[in-house]
Amino acid sequence: MKKHKYWGKIEEDWAGFSAEIVFNSQYFDNNKVTIFLGSEFDDDGEEIETIPNEVELNNFENTFIKFISNLDTIINNIMHKTFERYLKLYAHYYENEEKSGEKPLNIDSKEKHFEKIRNLIYIRILDNGNIKILIRYELDIEHGLEIRLENNKIIAIGGIAET
């Protein structure tokens, strides 16, 4: 265990090293979302067992503070990009009773779609201004949804572990 001025206690957790502080936002349904610091695995696919050093923790702090400071814009971009992804990959099924066997969901706006992605699993702060946001996606629970940001810009959206 290590202590940091911003993150508090850093402890080895089920998916790497987690901070004592947690993420809360009115945009998401669950409070106290775990924040993981650094990658879970190294380049060889082995679990990282060395706790992040002070410089890394300070860099993660800067990345996270910038993220929180721009959260409204980031959420708007997430809403827009994930709705585009829904239209491309899922709408043909969920909006077609013949294909789904169910009444259409009538998801016709980014706001309606956002209701399906409000359950965060965790947030991972990475090197070089990168953040991964993992979500339990109501429309694809098997794959979930992972959003990767670099300097608060969405650079990838996919299933969990696909970005």
Question: Where exactly are the structural domains of the chain?
Answer: 7-38+52-152
Query: Rounded to an integer, what is the distance from CA 76 to the centroid of its chain?
Result: 14
- State residue 44's pLDDT score: 87
- State residue 149's pLDDT score: 98
- State residue 43's pLDDT score: 85
In Å, what is the CA distance from 81 to each residue of 44, 66, 68, 97?
A: 31, 20, 19, 25
- State residue 30's pLDDT score: 86
- State residue 162's pLDDT score: 83
CA distance 157 to 146: 6
- State residue 45's pLDDT score: 85
In Å, what is the CA distance from 138 to each residue of 104, 115, 119, 159?
A: 15, 9, 8, 12
CA distance 146 to 163: 7
Q: Which residues of the chain have pLDDT under 70?
A: none
Judged on CB neighbours under 10 Å (0-12, 13-18, 19+), 140 is: middle
